[in-house]
Amino acid sequence: MLNPQLTPDGKLRHLLSTEGLPRAILNQILDTAESFVGVAEREVKKVPLLRGKTVCNIFFENSTRTRTTFEIAAKRLSADVINLNVNTSSQSKGETILDTIDNLTAMHADMFVIRHAQSGAAHLIAQHVAPHIHVINAGDGRHAHPTQGLLDVFTIRRYKPDMHNLRVALVGDVLHSRVARSEIHALTTLGVPEVRVIAPKTLLPQHVEKLGVQVYHDMREGLKDVDVIMMLRLQNERMSGALLPSAQEYFKCYGLTPEKLALAKPDAIVMHPGPMNRGVEIDSAVADGKQSVILPQVTYGIAVRMAVMSMLAGNSA
Amino acid sequence: MKILIKNGRLIDPKNNIDTTQDIYIAAGKIVGIGSGPAGFEATQTLDASGLLVLPGLVDLSARLREPGFEHKATLESEMQAAVAGGVTSLACPPDTDPVLDEPGLVEMLKHKAKQLHLAHVYPLGAITRQLQGKQLTEMSELTEAGCVGFSQADVAITDTQVLWRAMQYAATFGYTIWLRPEEPYLASGGTAHDGEVASRLGLKGIPAAAETLAIASILTIARETGASIHLCRLSTAEGVEMVRAAKQQGLPVTCDVSINHLHLTEHDIGYFDPNCHLRPPLRGQRDRDALSQGVIDGTIDAICSDHTPVDDDAKLQPFGEAEAGATGLELLLPLVCKWADEQNIPLPQALAAVTTKAAAILDIPAGELSLHADADLCLLDPAQEWKVEASVLQSQGKNTPFLGLHLRGKVRYTLVNGQLVYQAA
């Protein structure tokens, strides 16, 4: 089966998942992002790489942060940007997801940034669009959120350049997390030797070890000697019910406190894809502490998204 | 109309026949095998050299979509598909709209099907009104109207008290209860096997335990009530083992598997192929092997197509939102041949699971080439290769995981009641 994200000659055509992307392409994205980090610090924060192109941010599911960073990234590349929150417009009138895409294609969009509550939505759209159109998955169900995974890896690389000598721990709701899946694939492809997941059994998918990770249920044990701690967001509706008894008990067992952080390496960095639930998955003292790189993650997010968009535009047929 | 079918390889699993012989048909019946009755003069002669002459297939699960879902398929389109696939008798589940829970509806469906002069349709009545799992249907009346058994289609009866009563009531009259074993809470919201692939793709899983838990409940209640049970579309290795044990204990239980599950696994979902969104979900390699073994050793009585035509609008959706199901009537026979070939078992043994053994479950006179039997049969060219494509399928549903695959074996002629109802172009 052909990888649907690559052109026949192996270049990036869509960004749908970090799974199955060759290491060379991952590195190319990260290296390109590196060159965009400086753009934001210049007086004129724009480069003309996407001038005359139209980027459509189509969000079938709400998001503020991701949509905004994609919008900023596209604008810094000089693209025209259209934002569409579809859950509030045509889908409620019964239009199918592919109808929506066809309509926007007819308006000569060049790139679609898609967020959807269903796993596989971005793949479906990518299989359907005309050859000159690029699709970026901005999060599909529990499946993937590749730009988030890449910006996390980019952040790690900035602070810990030797990827072959790292221990990374992901803590929390792996089961529902597209971010976790995207990070795991990116990290393992880039040669990180040890990726751990730390969570209660109710928040881990079946056979999670087949993704190439080591499983821990005891956070104290799992954090021992790690270089990177990646906290995952716990959705409100999952805090009390059959998955977890309460936010309090969750924080007690799996919340990141200064005391638990001390078990990791002294120079370990703390990450979170946001938005954070302070006091549920992370203690404020840690979130705002000197080991936290949570805000740099947001900044780098723009550079990584610029990198992806410019590479896709450069690979146009 | 008197038809002579000459020089074909006759395979009739019921009578242990596998030989080259002529077959003589008159007045809708088989009147001679090997030699015809005195004075037989054929009005039509079919040269079956190089072809297999088989009993018409009996499919235990084919959705015809009428009434209520004519935008997905019509009785006519699917009956055409049936005979194009060599299927001459089929059982349809009651999940139409309205649900088959009233004798009038069943009579109408039977009547409409009969008017078409294609395959025989055997409706399964609903066990509970509107499949809601609360009030029993009038099973006796429905049987008089033509129902051959009672089913909940894909809707579980969550209330075990109702399930118990339904089995007691059915057992009173000797009716068979057809259930697809799936515990609804464990399966809730799931769209794929709760395994490696679902974890990777971020799809909500349906654990194997959803099937085994349901089988355990059903078998326990069946044992208590004495009801005859048919379990539809097993999907797990553990499920096969439970049925094997139940049969050894002498419980009156039969079961089937869909042909899709004998060929495919969760890995075929690939990059979210919605055509692989099936119910029950495609499971692991180990399950597939156990299902095959179950058919071979007779634990699984029949193979069905689980024919479910779905319109493009409902299928071209993200995997989880795409409607489950695959079209199958025209693929059943070549896929059974392929399966027999891959498993290295004799073709007659494999064909028994789609002919005589399926007919026995429905308790209908079909699936055999006996003398004086109804002349329902099909002629298959076992060597003809064809590519599964939307344009070659008669079914209104073009949704199948096998799209693009080259299959060997194509039906050339189908006869129902001695009438030629299908002839390949």
Peptide bond into B98 cis (omega under 30): yes
Q: Are A99 and A128 in contact (CB under 8 A)?
A: no
- Choosing from B59, B101, B256, B306, the catalytic residue is B306
User: Considering its fold, how many domains does chain A have in total?
Assistant: 2
CB contact under 8 A, A4 and B274: no
B272 touches chain A (CB under 8 A): yes
Test mutation, B191, B321, B405, chain A, max A CBs within 10 A: B321
On whether both A310 and A259 belong to a single domain, the answer is no
CB atoms within 10 A of CB A314: 12
One digit per residue, pLDDT tens: chain A, 317 residues?
678 999 988 999 999 999 999 999 999 999 999 999 988 888 888 999 999 999 999 999 888 889 999 999 999 999 999 998 887 555 555 678 888 889 888 888 999 999 999 999 999 999 999 999 999 999 999 999 999 999 999 999 999 999 999 999 999 999 999 999 999 999 999 999 999 999 999 999 999 999 999 999 999 999 999 999 999 999 887 877 899 999 999 999 999 999 999 999 999 999 999 899 999 999 999 999 999 999 999 999 999 999 999 999 998 75
pLDDT, tens only, A245-277? 999 999 999 999 999 999 999 999 999 998 999
If we measure between CA atoms, which residue out of B378, B392, B384 comes closest to residue B83?
B378
Is A174 part of a structural domain of the chain?
A: yes
Q: How far is CA B223 from the centre of its chain?
A: 26
Phi, psi of A66 (to 5 degrees): -65, -45
Residue reference for tokens 């074909």: B8
DSSP calls for A5-37: TB-TTS-BS-B--STT--HHHHHHHHHHHHHHH
Taking CA–CA distances from A127, the nearest residue in chain B reads: B271
Is A95 part of a structural domain of the chain?
A: yes
Residues of A with CB below 8 A from B313's CB? 96
Residues of A with CB below 8 A from B201's CB? 119-120, 143
On whether both A128 and A38 belong to a single domain, the answer is yes
CB atoms within 10 A of CB B28: 15
- Whether the pLDDT of residue B218 is over 60: the answer is yes
Is A80 part of a structural domain of the chain?
A: yes
Tokens of B355: 């002919």
Question: How many whole angstroms separate alpha carbon B338 and alpha carbon B344?
Answer: 10
- Whether the pLDDT of residue B324 is over 90: the answer is yes
- pLDDT of A92: 55
CB contact under 8 A, B203 and A4: no
Residues of A with CB below 8 A from B321's CB? 118
On whether both A141 and A191 belong to a single domain, the answer is no
Peptide bond into B382 cis (omega under 30): no
* Helix A294-314 / helix A146-159 crossing angle, nearest 10 deg: 120
pLDDT, tens only, B89-126? 999 999 999 999 999 999 999 999 999 999 999 999 99
Is A8 part of a structural domain of the chain?
A: no
DSSP calls for B221-276: HHHHH--EEEE-----HHHHHHHHHHHHTT--EEEEEEHHHHH--GGGGTTT-GGG
On whether both A152 and A287 belong to a single domain, the answer is yes
CATH code at A60? 3.40.50.1370
Rounded to two decimals, the pTM is 0.94
Is A4 part of a structural domain of the chain?
A: no
Is A3 part of a structural domain of the chain?
A: no
CB contact under 8 A, B202 and A119: yes
If we measure between CA atoms, which residue out of B321, B319, B287 comes closest to residue B200?
B319
On whether both A275 and A163 belong to a single domain, the answer is yes
- Mean of per-residue pLDDT scores for chain B: 97
Q: Residue B253's pLDDT band (boundaries 50, 70, 90)?
A: very high
Q: How far is CA B124 from CA B69, B88, B118, B127, B176, in A?
A: 17, 17, 19, 9, 10
On whether both A134 and A152 belong to a single domain, the answer is no
**Parallel, antiparallel, or unpaired: how do β-strands B17-20 and B9-12 relate?**
antiparallel
Residue reference for tokens 């302070």: A278
On whether both A34 and A98 belong to a single domain, the answer is yes
On whether both A152 and A288 belong to a single domain, the answer is yes
Q: At residue B21, what is the residue type? A: Q
On whether both A171 and A47 belong to a single domain, the answer is no
On whether both A117 and A201 belong to a single domain, the answer is no
Is A62 part of a structural domain of the chain?
A: yes
On whether both A158 and A135 belong to a single domain, the answer is no
Question: How many whole angstroms separate alpha carbon B421 and alpha carbon B401?
Answer: 28
On whether both A279 and A179 belong to a single domain, the answer is yes
Is A6 part of a structural domain of the chain?
A: no
Burial class (CB in 10 A: 0-12, 13-18, 19+), A313: middle
Q: Which domain holds residue A72?
A: 14-145+298-315
Cβ neighbours of residue B172 closer than 8 Å, sequence gap 6 or more: none
Tokens of B230: 């048919």
Cβ neighbours of residue B11 closer than 8 Å, sequence gap 6 or more: B17, B18, B52, B53, B54, B347, B348, B351
- Whether the pLDDT of residue B184 is over 90: the answer is yes
